[in-house]
Amino acid sequence: MENESRAHGLDFEAPIVELENRISELRSFSESSEIDLSGQLEELEKKCEEKKKAIYTHLNPWQRVQIARHPQRPLTSDYIKGFVSDFLELHGDGAYRDDPAIVTGLGRIRGRKVMIVGHRKGRTNPEKVACNFGMPHPEGYRKAMKKMRLAEKFNIPIISFINTAGAFPGIEAEERGQAFVVAKNLQGMASLRVPVIAIVIGEGGSGGAIGIGVADRILMLENSYYSVISPEGCAAILWKDASHAPRAAEILKLTSSDLSRFGIVDEVITEPVGGAHREHREMLQRVEETILRHLDEITDIDPDLRKEQRFRKYMDIGRFADQQEQTLEDRG
Amino acid sequence: MSEKQGEPRPNRRRDVPSGLWMRCSGCSKMIYRNLVVERGNVCPECSFHFPISSDERIRLLCDPETFDEQFKELAPADPLQFEARRTYRERLDETQKKTGLLDACLVGLAEIGEVPVVFGVSDSRFLMGSMGSVVGEKIARGIEMAREQNRPFIFVSGSGGGARMDEGMFSLMQMAKTSAAIQRLHEAGGLFVSILTNPTMGGAMASFAALGDVIIAEPKALIGFAGPNVIKQTINAELPSGFQSSEFNLEHGFIDQVVDRQQMRSTLIRILAYFCQEA
Ligand SMILES: [Zn+2]
């Protein structure tokens, strides 16, 4: 895993990757030659940590978008494998087809029953193709809602992992009512009385993301993004040129810290220095703990009150000027 | 006359231009302007439905003098301090001056066929009728008002952009907000009639506009999730003719009726009478 991660190093990570490579070379040389190089290794590791810190504490939005899309970043399936025990995948939307771009199923997190819903991107190339690169068709959203209704019936909390570039823009997707299923999910998730936690683990691509994202708590990994439009799409509209995506990422205010500041996101889950793709185990542990903490906070609320609070939460999102009051409403 | 002869096609988004004669965007024929206006801005030759302003829509659908605008003090802010080639603030100021509107939709109390309703309409002249915080807030408040006063909610959508990019995630979240409000209205047994006009796409279509108990579209309107150009680029193929039209959506089972503009009011009155009268 770590070697692959290096192979996929991003441009701005090059100095880190270079140090990491030197460390692993030195380590294998030390092991094969039985020469003690622990002093040099320690020094290099220290240097590498410093470099990581220096780079990763000053990431710009576009760099974060790239990290969010990093091929070695933990995926929904990694989180399921990592801390959902007893996972029983439940396929199908009961109407048209099983959409592999969304995975749904029953499981337990430290013994507590949960219904898992999440975008599935796939790791290997054949997997990616099979999952349509995590871009669902209408049947994917319908499947998610079907399983959420099942969870509702049996009072099982829902955990939704968001990681999609967007709902798929295609002929068949439109023929099968992409807009209508996303809308139905937004309405359907507002009707749920069970706890719902949504976590943006990588890409939060517009309608395709929010289509499984109406929740009591919206969490975001530090280097994930959540946006009304992709930086490339925004750049194509504003500058007629997708290569201006870095600038678009800047102005769209799509990072976890922006959205936390806006009050749209309830908590940002810090990533290990160097990004989630470097330390899967650590990342998984942080996500598991954060989910459990939020579950604890919202599980004991009366179901109708919880639903009411979720409704209020969304009703309060928006910023506008109320000219009558002559004050800027600043509600988050 | 054809485009080949160098005749520029009129901008589809523009309102009916002034002057005695005009060229139809649908059939390219020269048509007599008064006749078009008389028919609710519909081409007498090919039934092309020209975009109309929110005021005209209110005149066309509501009982005369009954529209009482609500929440009209809400004006857009610039939460992202969005700046590309021009700032969002500049675009807002200019559009506000040009249209006399504060933002892209009007919501109010009204009567249609003497049935009291909450009526809303988006205005495509204002940044393509896109949904930012103000539009989302007005729609959500309108739906809540409908629920509280036990009135049907009628909304005429027309939004090419869907969500308003300049307000970033605040815009995307309006999708969830308006849909949650519809769910509440639904639980209270309230009626929502959604009317779709050209175009209704993206964030507007993938939220409240798709959630009508009854969904009616004007003919040949563009209705869908992703824009045709985005789809074309993604799949690298031409799109079938009539793709994402009202008729396409009717055929695939997503809307209840395609209704001409001239019959829209009488159709609404029939629907309201059916759902809102005892017998
Ligand atoms: Zn015509």
Ordered DSSP codes for chain B? --GGGTPPPPPTTSPPPSSSEEE-TTT--EEEHHHHHHTTSB-TTT--B----HHHHHHHHSPTT--EEESTTEEE--TT--BSSSBHHHHHHHHHHHHS-SSSEEEEEEEETTEEEEEEEE-TTTGGG-B-HHHHHHHHHHHHHHHHTT--EEEEEEESS-B-GGGHHHHHHHHHHHHHHHHHHHHTT--EEEEEEEEEEHHHHTTGGGG-SEEEE-TT-BEESS-HHHHHHHHTSPPPTTTTBHHHHHHTTS-SEE--HHHHHHHHHHHHHHHHS--
pLDDT given at position A6: 45
Distance from CA of A50 to the nearest CA of B (A): 33
- Closest residue of chain B to A258, computed from CA coordinates: B80
CA-derived radius of gyration, chain B: 19
The partner residue sitting opposite A180, judged by closest CB among B175, B177, B254, is: B254
| Residue count of chain A | 332
Partners of A178 on chain B (C-beta within 8 Å) are: 206, 224-226
Distance from CA of A172 to the nearest CA of B (A): 10
pLDDT given at position A131: 97
Average model confidence (pLDDT) for chain B? Answer: 92
Do the beta carbons of residue A52 and residue A257 sit within 8 Å?
Answer: no
Domain range list for chain A: 2-58, 65-317
Closest C-alpha among B210, B200, B246, B241 to residue B47: B246
The partner residue sitting opposite B173, judged by closest CB among A167, A184, A314, is: A314
Best mutation target among B172, B229, B249 (most A Cβ atoms within 10 Å) is B172
Distance from CA of B105 to the nearest CA of A (A): 14
B 32-61 residues with CB < 8 A to A? none
Cβ–Cβ of A190/B225 closer than 8 Å? no
pLDDT by 10s per residue, chain A, length 332: 344 444 566 889 999 999 999 999 999 998 888 888 889 899 999 999 999 999 998 899 999 999 999 999 999 999 999 999 999 999 999 999 999 999 999 999 999 999 999 999 999 999 999 999 999 999 999 999 999 999 999 999 999 999 999 999 999 999 999 999 999 999 999 999 999 999 999 999 999 999 999 999 999 999 999 999 999 999 999 999 989 999 999 999 999 999 999 999 999 999 999 999 999 999 999 999 999 999 999 999 999 999 999 999 999 999 999 876 654 454 44
Cβ–Cβ of B85/A239 closer than 8 Å? yes
In terms of average pLDDT, the best of A23-27, B161-165, B184-188 is B184-188
Do the beta carbons of residue B227 and residue B202 sit within 8 Å?
Answer: yes
- Is the per-residue pLDDT at B5 higher than 90? no
Give the mean model confidence (pLDDT) for residues B132-159. 97
- B205: contact with A, CB 8 A cutoff: yes
Give the mean model confidence (pLDDT) for residues B205-226. 97
Higher per-residue confidence, B13 vs A320? A320
pLDDT given at position A322: 87
The half-sphere exposure of A247 on its side-chain side, counting CA atoms within 13 A, is: 14
A 153-182 residues with CB < 8 A to B? 167-171, 173-180, 182
pLDDT given at position B3: 35
Do the beta carbons of residue B209 and residue B192 sit within 8 Å?
Answer: no
Helix (H, G, I), strand (E, B) or coil at A112: strand
Cβ–Cβ of A210/B176 closer than 8 Å? yes
Separation of alpha carbons B66 and B119, rounded Å? 10
Measured CA distances, A99 to A43, A88, A91, B3 (Å):
49, 16, 8, 44
Report cis status (omega within 30 of 0) of the bond before A71.
no
A 268-327 residues with CB < 8 A to B? 310-311, 314-315, 317-325
Task: Kindly list the structural domains of chain B, giving each domain's residue range(s) and its CATH number in brackets, ordered by start.
Answer: 1-50 (no CATH), 52-276 (3.90.226.10)
Q: Which residue has the tokens 């005149």?
A: B59
The partner residue sitting opposite B226, judged by closest CB among A169, A252, A318, is: A169
- Closest residue of chain A to B210, computed from CA coordinates: A180
Taking the domain A65-317, which CATH number applies?
A: 3.90.226.10
**Could you tell me whether strands B74-76 and A318-322 are parallel, antiparallel, or unpaired per DSSP bridges?**
antiparallel
Percent of chain B topping pLDDT 90: 84
Do the beta carbons of residue B105 and residue B54 sit within 8 Å?
Answer: yes
Report which residue type is found at A157.
Answer: P
CA B48 to centroid of ligand 1, rounded, Å:
5
pLDDT digits (tens, 9 = 90+) for B32-66: 999 998 888 999 998 899 999 999 999 999 999 99
Do the beta carbons of residue B161 and residue B128 sit within 8 Å?
Answer: yes
Closest C-alpha among A171, A141, A175, A145 to residue A158: A145
Helix (H, G, I), strand (E, B) or coil at A294: helix
CA B30 to centroid of ligand 1, rounded, Å:
8
pLDDT given at position B279: 64
Kindly tell me the number of DSSP H helices and DSSP E strands found in chain A. Answer: 15, 10
Report which residue type is found at A188.
Answer: G
